[in-house]
Structure 1
């Protein structure tokens, strides 16, 4: 369980993975950055590299000028969808009752 929490613990991890799962197609870096705004380029790059190392995302560089880079969720990454769906459902049901401290 600790390894799973470490994998998705970053502020942007779930939004990035969920976007790739929902899209179900190759997504360009800029599109991911806009979808997860206001994430920085550095932070998005860090997360995508981690997900690629873990086998959750594949990175494809197209030999064009300028280079076009696309990210796709892998079959392994897609297996996270039921878990992320259940977390989203739990938040819809219980989020309002959580104590929000600043």
Structure 2
């Protein structure tokens, strides 16, 4: 992401990809634990479904926070490197939960 702390397209791409990874992780967890995943376009549904998984409430909260930033990261003005670091770190924790569910 370079040295700049200001908004950049690189930071936006990093944030966007991290959010997509978190959504994919949530889908995988729900598929494994519940036998299905959210298929709607509203990511709040995915978070609500993830909350139904045993020990899924903290993950659902994290997913909801991440997906609330999705539109900005993908279609809005560029985000800063700090936002990208925060988003990638948060998404990484959701992805890191996959082994707990046998994934």
TM surpasses 0.5: no
Larger C-alpha radius of gyration, 1 or 2?
1
Larger relative contact order (C-alpha < 8 A, sep ≥ 6)? 2
Larger helix fraction of residues: 2
TM norm structure 2 = 0.30
